[in-house]
A = this chain, B = another copy of it.
């Protein structure tokens, strides 16, 4: 296992070097199944697609359903089907990176396999990890799945529009999250309603490499 992780790390550093050289921001998006990663991408590409050149790697066990949802934006998309694999790794990224014209790209979003655990353990060569968590999963996710929340540069708390219909405690969520990662940037959003997304758009825009 240590060998596999070492080899993954070496390949990830290679990818990170290449993307830095090409000035491509790579965001590794991690969440539970159905937390709203694809809807976030639909919103973000819809808003920022005219300002920045965006590409997407869609990681899924099977099917190209998420990629189909993004087709209308007419941007470069690659689907990686892991065929049962519970996360992407740097070798799977390396195999598809040549599909993109990196000189003509500002942001490369990687939608990882829907899984709050394994993807956090694998460096893909990303600029940073982004955690998406939805209010309907409950307020205890940072405490129960700490690795992702420790590793993430930013957390998007999605489905805030559903809080009134759940027993989600905002205070518990924030307290646990800050205990695990006091430096993390938090955005509270509803991707279906559009609430809170402007702050996210501004923040990610500032991160694009000039």
Contact of A143 among B63, B115, B116 (CB under 8 A): B63
Query: Do A114 and B32 touch across chains, with their CB atoms under 8 A apart?
Result: yes
> Given contacts A134-B136, A136-B162, are A34 and B141 in contact (CB under 8 A)?
yes
Indicate with 1 or 0, residue by residue over A141-171, a CB within 8 angstroms of chain B CB atoms: 1011111000000000001011001110000
A7 at the interface (CB under 8 A from B): no
The answer, yes or no, to whether A199 is at the interface (CB within 8 Å) is: no
Give the residue name and chain of the B residue nearest to A137 (CB).
B34
A167 to B161, CA, bound (A): 13
CB-based contact B65/A136 at 8 Å: no
* Bound-state Cα–Cα, A143 to B118, Å: 21
Q: Does B137 contact A84, Cβ atoms closer than 8 Å?
A: no
Contact residues in B for A144 (Cβ distance below 8 Å): 33, 60-63, 65, 114
In the complex the two chains form, what is the Cα distance from A147 to B62 in whole Å?
10
Q: How far is the CA of A79 from the CA of B146 in the complex (A)?
A: 18
Stoichiometry, as copies per complex, reads 2
Segment 160-210 of A: residues with Cβ below 8 Å from B: 161-162, 165-167, 192
A86 CB-CB contact with B under 8 Å = yes
A115 CB contacts on chain B under 8 angstroms: 86, 115-118
B-chain residues with CB within 8 Å of residue A145 when the two chains form the complex? 33, 61, 114
A147/B84 contact (C-beta < 8 A), A117-B113, A136-B159, A165-B161 known: yes
A65 cross-chain contacts in B, Cβ below 8 A: 140, 143-144
- The CA of A113 and the CA of B32, in the complex, are separated in Å by 12
B84–A86 touching, CB < 8 Å: no
> Would you call A121 an interface residue if the criterion is a C-beta within 8 Å of the partner chain's C-beta atoms?
yes
Q: Can you list 11 A-B contacts (CB < 8 A)?
A: A34-B138, A61-B117, A62-B144, A84-B117, A84-B147, A86-B118, A114-B116, A114-B144, A115-B115, A115-B118, A167-B192
Chain A residues at the B interface, C-beta cutoff of 8 Å: 32-35, 60-63, 65, 84, 86, 113-118, 121, 134, 136-138, 140-141, 143-147, 159, 161-162, 165-167, 192
